[in-house]
Amino acid sequence: MSIPGGEPQWTLPDAGWGRRAADAATLHEPQNIREYVAVHQHLRVGAGTRLLDVACGAGLAVELAAARGATVAGIDASARLLAVARDRNRGADLRVGDMRALPWGDGEFDVVTSFRGIWGTTPEVLDEVRRVLRPGGLLGLTVWGRVKASPGAWALRPFLWAQTAQVAHQAAMNSLGRPGVGEELLTRHGFEAVRRVDIPFVWEFADPESFARAVACTGPGYEAIQAVGEQRFLEDAARLAAEHARDGLPLRAEINLVGFLARAPAPAVPASSFLAEPAQLSDRARSAYADDSAELGYVMNATRMWANDTEALELLFKALGRVTKTAGLTVRDRGILVTAAASTLGDSYCALAWGGKLAAAASAQLSAGVIAGDDGLLDDRERALARWARQVAADPNATNASDVQPLREAGYTEAQILAITAYVALRVAFSTINDALGAVPDWQLRTTTPEAVLRSVTFGRVAALSASDSS
């Protein structure tokens, strides 16, 4: 579809967002840093991540992803904003184009982000996003949430000065933030493990005039300017902001922002790991297969991989049994330690397997919370376990004496603290070996793990679809 003058419809955002690209890049976009950092953290963006940012604007989110080690790409409808993005990200794969027809091949990216760039009025973009994601790749997008209930709702009021039809269109764009709407749309477009998260978002400005300039360089601001004129818009916006000025402090507007995390589906029944099963199973391996079948009804992919040295696996779990006994760990305690450590490492296999066990021992909500880093349903003793597991898994060299003290206050002896730490370290070793050798979470975990836990595991290798699911 084209607009008068022969330009394609997708170029329209450049009129508003691109007309003052330098203002947008320096006054408006830096206000979104909390949003960018939070989503990158949820998606575990880091070294080796192939990331595409859809509606990348002036490229600050792309720059921050690259700073985390990602290989970055971006697309935006505004050539003028993209010129700034290219200046900030020399050598990155940044393109002017239509996000409804992404100019990349199938499965090229591990992660796709879009910061208030995919709306309720552009649902077809999700099909393109899913196409360019690798199987099991992650999507992170943000949309406005309960704006009217936000302390900083006043800061978005200038956008309502646009014509009635344009304000109505803005409301339609923002529909994804309503309860259940975004989840339903993402699921309908083939994504799984869809999870809604709260994203920190604050606008801060030095003075009312800075606020007025910052909102004037946005697309919705431009629509309002078309209705009331630029000079009046700037004056009225500054007057509005002055009502919220604070002596010696910047203007501050906290606005409710919603994030969605989702995963592209995995292929059906891939190999169980990077290693082939032994041509001849040892007696120990046959016994391990029989144990899995009796307990679970299937042989775990991890067991198939470890069949290459089942004795080593037995020794590892013998050590785990020893320290479990010394520490006096219950199934619930072990579930907290394993899920906290596994989610910190990004190990989906143990997070799913033990997430289900913890859900059975406690609740699905508690288990999903620990995986997501929310210990609100734990008691003080359990919080000490979860915090310590995360510290040991994340960076053992960064711990100090005060980090151990909560375990003492929870009633653990020195010997038990050693055993708890050994338990976490052994689980980290087990997860590391499984992940490095490509052990794929068993497809059966999709049907045996509670939905809340499944939604919380938005990292690591994804459980494959069964053959019947893929037909």
pLDDT, residue 2, reads 42
SS3 category, 216: helix
- Looking at the structure, do residues 183 and 65 belong to the same domain, yes or no? yes
- Looking at the structure, do residues 256 and 287 belong to the same domain, yes or no? no
Say if CB 379 and CB 332 are below 8 A apart.
Answer: no
Report if residue 23 sits inside a domain.
yes
Token code pair at residue 277: 């099963």
CA distance 444 to 298: 8
CA distance 61 to 35: 9
Report if residue 253 sits inside a domain.
yes
CA distance 156 to 148: 9
CA distance 436 to 344: 16
CATH at 326: 1.20.1290.10
pLDDT, residue 193, reads 86
- Looking at the structure, do residues 154 and 238 belong to the same domain, yes or no? yes
Report if residue 244 sits inside a domain.
yes
- Looking at the structure, do residues 166 and 222 belong to the same domain, yes or no? yes
Report phi then psi at 421, rounded to 5. -65, -40
pLDDT, residue 1, reads 42
Report if residue 183 sits inside a domain.
yes
Per the structure, the count of domains in the chain is: 2
Report phi then psi at 244, rounded to 5. -115, 15
pLDDT, residue 112, reads 98
Instruction: Print the domain residue range for 429.
Output: 283-470
Single out the residue in 198, 230, 263 at which a domain terminates: 263
- Looking at the structure, do residues 69 and 144 belong to the same domain, yes or no? yes
CA distance 165 to 299: 59
CA distance 8 to 6: 6
- Looking at the structure, do residues 256 and 296 belong to the same domain, yes or no? no
- Looking at the structure, do residues 230 and 296 belong to the same domain, yes or no? no
Report if residue 271 sits inside a domain.
no
CA distance 217 to 223: 10
- Regions in the chain scoring below 50 on pLDDT: 1-3, 470-471
- Looking at the structure, do residues 13 and 44 belong to the same domain, yes or no? yes
- Looking at the structure, do residues 317 and 450 belong to the same domain, yes or no? yes
Say if CB 430 and CB 316 are below 8 A apart.
Answer: yes
- Looking at the structure, do residues 82 and 130 belong to the same domain, yes or no? yes
The pTM assigned to this predicted structure is 0.80
Rounded to 5°, angle at Cα 369 from 387 and 425: 35
Report if residue 3 sits inside a domain.
no
Rounded to 5°, angle at Cα 461 from 374 and 320: 70
CATH at 241: 3.40.50.150
- Looking at the structure, do residues 232 and 360 belong to the same domain, yes or no? no
What are the tens digits of pLDDT across the range 135-167? 889 999 999 999 999 999 999 999 999 999 988
Token code pair at residue 369: 């919370």
pLDDT, residue 270, reads 65
- Looking at the structure, do residues 299 and 365 belong to the same domain, yes or no? yes
Single out the residue in 203, 228, 263 at which a domain terminates: 263
Which burial class, exposed, middle or buried, applies to 239 when counting CB atoms under 10 A from its CB (0-12, 13-18, 19+)?
exposed
Report if residue 1 sits inside a domain.
no
